[in-house]
Amino acid sequence: MQDYFQKAELNLKKIWGFDGFRPGQDEVVHSVFDGEDTLVLFPTGGGKSLCYQVPATVFEGMTLVISPLVALMQDQVQQLKAKGISATFINSTIPSYEVEQRLVNARNGMYKLLYCAPERLKTNLWEAELPRLNIDLVAIDEAHCISEWGHDFRPSYRDIRESLESIADQTRWIALTATATPEVQKDIVDSLGFEDANVISRGFSRPNLKWWVVKSPNKKQKLEESVKKGAQKGDGLIYGGTRKNCELLAERFSCMGIKTEAYHAGVESEERKAIQQRWISGETPLVSATNAFGMGIDKPNCRYVIHEEMPYSLEAYYQEAGRAGRDGEESFPILLYRESDYHKADERIDQGYPTLDELDHVYQVLCDSFHLAVGSQMEESMSFDIEQIKKRGKVKYGKARAAMRLLDQFDVIAMQEEVKPAVSVQFTLSQNAMKTFREKCKNDEKAEFTDKLERMFGSLAFKEMVQLDEEYVLDKLGIRRNVLVKALNVLMQNDQVLVFEMHKQRSLVKVLEARSKKLPMTKKEVESHRNNLFRKLEHMHGYILTVRCREVYLRNYFGDTGAEPCGHCDNCLKTTASEEVSPTDEEIKAVYDELESEERTVSQLCSSTGQSKRKVQQALQFLIREDKVTTIPSKPGYYCLL
């Protein structure tokens, strides 16, 4: 196995240009080569991908990468190809004939890495091809999706081991995640059948980050103060919640002399890329963004990240705030909070989360919009507009969007938002006739252009429409979009040798199974996920309310129980007088005893125990962390014993 590792180090230098593995990466790669079942817990930006990509270049066979993130899957494949590594992906966004072709190519040893969405493992085509594939390593990215206690649970992840059972003992396994509590880690290990898992963690300590919570009824003023101070340190990022708020923030701070740009799903894809690049280069020192910002973006010198709105989970907060200070220099994750934020978040989950009946209604409306009969199955993904679902089903926009996301999460549908612009072409002549057309063509440029098109779109385009990314086509042809459209129009209208379509950026969706009369989800599944969201919100609220070290609170949540106070978060820097706010064991017991008789609100507990509101809140957060107390989703503001 030492030969394997030496070759891995050579490939790391030759292909990626790195002199050596980072601390932790080398341990993981050794573990993989030794055939140990490996669970990797590295923070965002910690280099998880290299832990399976580099070994993939060493193994004779193929590495199968399970990932739920379509966009990231495509980006990684593109990056690998650019480095000369053969890779591809299969998911619900590509036609079935293309999936079949890629699996045939995989069987013939054409790929080093095959990225695959988890639901694809359940298809008849996959099951038929699996025995013929030479898989040396199975890598499960975003492994927290396995656990119903995770922040992005996907049921199809729990079936991975079963789907790959026939090769389970003949291949190596690695699972990777940036955020997993101890219960999620155990769930991952149990679900994947890791008998003696080698858990490798780089820990959740970020000693250069100064965790800070600013509590104030006037968040606007505090935000301005925070940005002014942060701007003296360097570039920053504000998570502003809504699209409208991000636009307002960009305008406000630009007027104050700090160039700021708004990033959200309403901004065109190319412009978003340009905004990212301007921020990374330092041309734009501040971005106000929705939580769509950040995936795959590596800016080492981001000095501050401000959350103007309270995130719904510590997992989300840790990942987003952790975009600060990736270069190891002092940086500031700041969370602005006013008392009403928690109740607003609690209410949003309560009112925005669809019931089983509402989910079923959206599912049926979606199927109707695609003219999908009961028992029929979709062959390919199709464009959809959430506004159409809203109008057709008479559903509020927020509820329709939440329902679509939940249906996607539970693998009822596969949704891909903001798909890149594309070009579809089908030749109307036979291949021989097209060859004759080129030979007789008096315009050499036109003949060369059609030859390039034929090579690019392939022989399948003589039978049906073939779609390629617009950016890829323009790059290969070396022309601008308006020139491409003009040339294709000439070939379609004047020469009548092809038909074509230009697709704008759009969203795609596919109903994964044959349409059923009733939504294939149970009330228990729906309510369990909803209750988990409330549970995670409580832990997030606990982070805000705690008077102890914030880094210790975060690290304890993720299972790092040996954490010592950091000495530099806002709580650590306060006077010891703040410690007096912490409730004693007797005061915590008094709160617990009151809840034994009936459910209570904070104000009711204050009255019955004679304690301050602060102490009651601290006691409740302690009891919630100990899994002794929980909130009541149907009665916001009330607490009861578990």
> What's the confidence (pLDDT) of residue 294?
64
CATH number of 346-420+508-528: 1.10.10
CA nearest neighbour of 220 among 248, 201, 259: 248
> What's the confidence (pLDDT) of residue 384?
83
> What's the confidence (pLDDT) of residue 581?
62
- Rounded CA-CA distance 356/523 in Å is 6
**Which pTM was predicted?**
0.75
pLDDT, mean of each 10-residue run, the chain (642 residues): 88 94 94 96 84 96 91 83 92 78 93 93 90 96 87 86 93 93 92 93 88 94 95 95 93 95 83 89 94 73 95 91 90 94 90 90 94 89 85 88 89 80 91 92 91 88 84 88 93 94 85 90 87 91 92 90 87 64 82 88 87 85 81 76 84
> What's the confidence (pLDDT) of residue 89?
93
Q: What is the dihedral of CA 353, 354, 355, 359, to 10 degrees?
A: -150
> What's the confidence (pLDDT) of residue 148?
78
Residues 6+ apart with CB under 8 A from 345: 310, 312, 537
> What's the confidence (pLDDT) of residue 192?
95
- Rounded CA-CA distance 354/357 in Å is 8
For the chain, what are the domain ranges?
2-201, 346-420+508-528, 422-504
> What's the confidence (pLDDT) of residue 410?
86
Homologous superfamily of the 2-201 domain (CATH): P-loop containing nucleotide triphosphate hydrolases (3.40.50.300)
